[in-house]
Structure 1
Amino acid sequence: MIKVLVADDQPVVLRGFTAVLAAQPDIAVVGAAADGGEAVRLARAERPDVALLDIRMPVMNGIEVARAVTGLGAKALMITTFDLDEYVYEALLAGASGFLLKDIRADDLADSVRVVARGDALLAPQVTRRLIAEFTARRRAAAATSLTPRESEVLQLIARGLSNSEIAAELVVTEHTVKTHVARLLAKLGLRDRTQAVIHAYETGLVRAGDRDPG
């Protein structure tokens, strides 16, 4: 039997999810909480296998509750109305095993609980897209911070449309040195060529529209 705790500050949603899960022969709802603080208290008392948590709740939000319940050995399954919720990445970092939208069908909700209870991860397709985009942006930002000041300067000049020889003249270095900087920054950022470097520079705000030298 899978012991489940449900936490949501919307009474209709809380009752609906509780009823759906309680009707399953292999699931027992051991607690229903209307806020994050109550959810943590119930988790400590009932030790659920899975905690179904609204991402936005009073007292403690879903991320804080996820950290607490996973520390107690429960799996956290987050649920929200927002497919682009800004807390998706943080919730997964907090230990959540899954992320679903509130418009999920009843049968899919019960199946999701079973999947998470088995120890597998589960993400709604919309959330997967959001997570990939967020991860990519963070990876790029982290990579950008690994550039040396000179490499960052070279990247800015590439984005402004300068050739290697023009960059060499601008920085008063040899063209060979510029080629070395370009090769290193492309490798660090995981970029294929100068075109991708230009796109990266604009996407990360290293240069802005209007910074590019006129042709």
Structure 2
Amino acid sequence: MTAPIKVLLADDEVLVRSGFKVLLDLEDDITVVGEAATGAEAVEQARATRPDIVLMDIRMPKLDGIQATSHLARIPGLERTRVLVLTTYDTDEYVFEALQAGASGFLLKDAGPAELLHAIRVIAAGDALLAPRVTRRLIGRFAAQRTATRVAEEQLSVLTDREREVVALVGEGMSNTEIGVELHLSPATARTHVGNAMRKLGARDRAQLVVLAYRTGLAKP
């Protein structure tokens, strides 16, 4: 039997954490392993519980969610921990900064229960970029603004021509199956190219590969 997905809840509102816990506790394949009311507590709880997923609010005291996400991305032993940022603020800059800090996805708090559960399972499976409502729009806008300072060729020199093509298509939001169709490859071969590109570029997951695709100019808004 597959082990349940371990989730850490990080939000400064007790009622919000309680609501998420009630929802997640109903699922056989998800278990809540801890709660945190501040960004600093989220980092410490993550060290102690080694969750698969951290549901991270952006606006929190003692490190906001973006700062806490950045800390988690640098902690040895938490390489497999993924951050799903949850916020009431539909603000492009927050989302881009969260993804740049190492988040694997972004969801507004008014998303329905089914959407939240799907997001947790998708990210836990490592197939993350979540793209609800705003994510692709904002990545294109903000990454395009910041691409002027890129050092694209130095970053991309480690990739083969095929891997560059694959990263560009990941940036457009394509799945492995869609990439395979586009490039006349099997989904397994497309997945291998995606994995190789992530390893070479030091991307933690698919979300980070999307950010890199835009920052280096491989994907165009």
- Same topology, TM > 0.5: yes
Paired-residue identity, %: 49
Task: Report the number of matched residues.
Answer: 143
Q: TM-score, normalised by structure 1?
A: 0.62
TM-superposed CA distance for 1:13, in Å, is 1.4
In the TM superposition, 1:9-20 aligns within 5 A as: 9-20=12-23
Partner of 2:55: 52
The aligned counterpart of 1:99 is: 106
| Rounded Cα–Cα distance in structure 1 between residues aligned with 2:42 and 2:99 | 18
Out of 26, 29, 32, the residue aligned to residue 29 of structure 1 is: 32
Matched residues in 1 for 2:96 and 2:137: separation? 11
Structure label with greater radius of gyration: 1
Deviation for aligned residue 1:28: 0.5
Choose between structure 1 and 2 for higher RCO, CA contacts under 8 A separated by at least 6 residues: 2
Contact conserved, 1:97 with 1:120, CA < 8 A, in 2? no
The alignment's C-alpha RMSD in Å is 1.7
Q: Which residue does 1:125 correspond to in 2?
A: 133
**2:86 aligns to what SS in structure 1?**
strand
Which runs of 5 or more structure 1 residues have no equivalent in the other structure? 144-189, 191-215
The Cα of 1:101 is off from its aligned counterpart by 0.5
Structure 1 residue ranges, 4+ long, deviating more than 2 angstroms after superposition: 67-71
Cα deviation digits, residues 156-182 of structure 1 (max 9, x gap): xxxxxxxxxxxxxxxxxxxxxxxxxxx
Q: CA deviation at 1:83?
A: 1.4
Q: CA deviation at 1:128?
A: 2.3
Q: Is 2:44 the counterpart of 1:41?
A: yes
Whichever residue aligns with residue 114 of structure 1, its letter is R
Please tell me whether the aligned partners of residues 33 and 39 of structure 1 are also in contact (alpha carbons under 8 angstroms): yes
CA contact (8 A) 2:93 2:138 kept: no
TM-score (norm 2): 0.61
- How far 1:85 moved relative to its partner? 4.5
State the Cα deviation string for residues 78-101 of structure 1 (Å, max 9, x = none). 111111142222211111100110
Please say if 1:142 is aligned against 2:149: yes
Please report how far the alpha carbon of residue 49 of structure 1 lies from its aligned counterpart in structure 2 after TM superposition.
0.5
